[in-house]
Amino acid sequence: MYPIIALAALSLFLVACNGGKKPPSTDIAASPEQLDIKTKDIIRDFLEYAENNNGDIGDSVILTHLPLLQKVYESGSFETSWSSKEEWKPLGDSMLGILANARLYGLFPEDYHFVQLDSINQRFIRDKWREKARTDAALWAKADLLLTDAFFKMVKDIKLGRLPKDSVTLRKDSVLTDSFYQQQWQALQQSGSLSPVIASLEPRHPAYAALRSAVKNFLDSSAGREFTFVPSPGKDAASRDAYKKALQTRLYEENFITQDSIPADSVVLAEAVKKFQKRQGITADGKAGEGTLRMLNLSQKDKFIRIAIAMDRYRQLPDSMPSRYIWVNLPSYSMRLWDKDTVKILSKIICGKAITRTPLLTSAISEMITYPQWTIPTSIIVKEILPGIKRDSAYLAKKGYSLIDKDGNEVDPATVEWSKYSKGIPYKVVQGSGDDNALGILKFNFNNKYAVYLHDTNQRYLFSREIRSLSHGCVRVQEWEKLAYTILEYDNTDEKKLQAKEDSLKVWLSRKEKHSIGIRNRIPVYIRYISCEGKDGRVVFYDDIYGEDKLLRERYFAGK
């Protein structure tokens, strides 16, 4: 007898430790009215079971926002939120529709219980003659909980995204409070409509809106499509032939060339490559170089994940942007001056090489300097200058650099024992002002810890290149002059003062004089990394020049 008692006690102990009895997988109701009563009871049972099982309600289904679900269902006496009497409420139909089309928001349906919900809904659809599925309270209870959990997860992902907070994230609400979630739930119940609630969570940045509106066209055009991979040309004849054949096929697949059965000549191929490059918004030189090949070989799945990452990066911005600001997007090699949701200046840029990346940052332009000197940052001294001097004592002179000690005196490089330095030097390396200066003839200063700026360049021919990640980290601006005079216009509302400032700038530039122009109404600067944009209803993709998206995909979107 004692072993039987012990076994019974052990069983009770195990049941207690496992959170009590699991709710039934099936519970058929006799009428629609009884269905709602049973469903309410099973919802309560599911929540109690989940509380003792880390959110698990069985069948590998985890409720990710269990505490919130407990609050909203308790406050509603465990009534169903999305269905009633064997039918979906309009909100339930809407929620299922939004989950099915989650990719329109840069989201993945499977992250919001859609697989399980769609399976349940298909059972309801097939049950036209009101057989067991539509009268199964357990199914309706599970569906209700999954939809509510999906709603809260979608609130978080549309509001904040899925990327972690980093050094340039400007949102103060990087973690949403329970009260915020409950406000969205109450708004949903009061309005009876999902669309305004979801819309209120989305970023208000015009570039986000352009990308968001272009996603449907991308999804419609890319469904089930995969393209031919184009290998690098190689050096031998066989490799070059394989490259040309694959390139022609790839261009034919998107109608950039009319046929692929007969080998195209180099002129026809170049024209087709130009068409592709124009669509991508990159330099249309007709050459399928390294950057163009990467764009040609970007799969549709990769492209969508780029869209998802881009939309999340917009979600990291504050809810409202300044009325005027400078937006530098590194992968697109572009700078925009936004003024009340209008692009006042669009300019090509040159940004940092992979080894000397342009940092992501937020600051504000505080001054402009004509004919600036360039004090070379320590990072560049260690990576480039010091090795160069060790190889050739005349390195600094050939580059037009001066060596300055702590007292401001110029030092002869030949008098320094360079072999004892490896991680830095006790001197400044300065390039004097002038037409040969790497900063060009005007620099835009803004506070940052990286010693980078926006500036002109003495190598303006580089703006014609397809790949423009060429600098030591600063951002070279093709339309620097237009930007300078626009900043003066913003900073001086008095016409006489504005004219005087503009005249001074023109004179100093013509005389090649170094001067500083302080900016009172500082213009915010955002340097960001977004590898796709919406243009004319289409998604345009850029090269992942620093591999940032590849890294984020591996870390946060693995398996997608």
Domains of the chain, each with CATH number or no CATH: 16-202 (no CATH), 237-298 (no CATH), 323-541 (2.40.440.10)
- Placement of tokens 């591996």 in the chain: 554
pLDDT tens for 330-344 read: 999 999 999 998 999
Nearest CA to 544 out of 384, 192, 305 is that of 305
- b (16+ CB within 10 A) / e for 22-42: ebeeebbbeeeeebbebbbeb
Strand partners, 526: 327, 362
CA–CA–CA angle 313, 315, 318 (5° rounding): 110
Contact present, 439 and 457 (Cβ < 8 Å): yes
pLDDT at residue 421 in the model = 86
d(CA 60, CA 80): 22
**What pTM does this model have?**
0.84
pLDDT, tens digit only, all 560 positions of the chain: 444 444 444 444 444 444 557 888 889 988 989 999 999 999 999 999 999 999 998 878 899 999 999 999 999 999 999 999 999 999 999 999 999 999 999 999 999 999 999 999 999 988 765 567 889 999 999 999 999 999 999 999 999 999 988 777 666 666 789 999 999 999 999 999 999 999 999 999 999 999 999 999 999 987 777 889 999 888 888 888 899 999 999 999 889 998 888 888 889 999 999 999 888 877 788 988 888 898 899 889 999 999 999 999 999 998 889 999 999 999 999 999 999 989 999 999 999 999 889 999 999 999 999 988 878 888 788 888 888 888 887 888 888 788 888 888 888 888 888 888 888 888 888 877 666 677 889 999 999 999 899 999 988 999 998 889 999 899 999 999 999 999 999 998 888 888 999 999 999 999 988 999 999 999 999 999 999 999 999 999 999 999 999 999 999 998 88
d(CA 276, CA 343): 25
d(CA 349, CA 76): 56
pLDDT at residue 111 in the model = 96
d(CA 113, CA 65): 13
**Can you list the alpha helix ranges (DSSP code H) found in 19-113?**
32-51, 66-75, 90-100
Query: Tokens for 553?
Result: 């995909």
Backbone angles phi, psi at 237, to 5 degrees: -60, -40
Contact present, 109 and 99 (Cβ < 8 Å): yes
d(CA 254, CA 251): 6
d(CA 56, CA 40): 19
Residue 366 CA neighbour count, 13 Å, CB half: 7
- Three-state DSSP state, 524: strand
d(CA 103, CA 536): 20
pLDDT at residue 10 in the model = 43
Contact present, 108 and 312 (Cβ < 8 Å): no
Helices (H) and strands (E) in the chain, counts: 19, 16
Nearby residues of 402 by Cβ (< 8 Å), 6 or more positions away: 396, 410, 429, 430, 431, 432
Catalytic sites, residue numbers: 455, 474
pLDDT at residue 170 in the model = 67
DSSP state of 528: E
pLDDT at residue 225 in the model = 78
pLDDT at residue 295 in the model = 86
User: How, if at all, do strands 87-88 and 83-84 pair?
Assistant: antiparallel
- Placement of tokens 């549309």 in the chain: 158
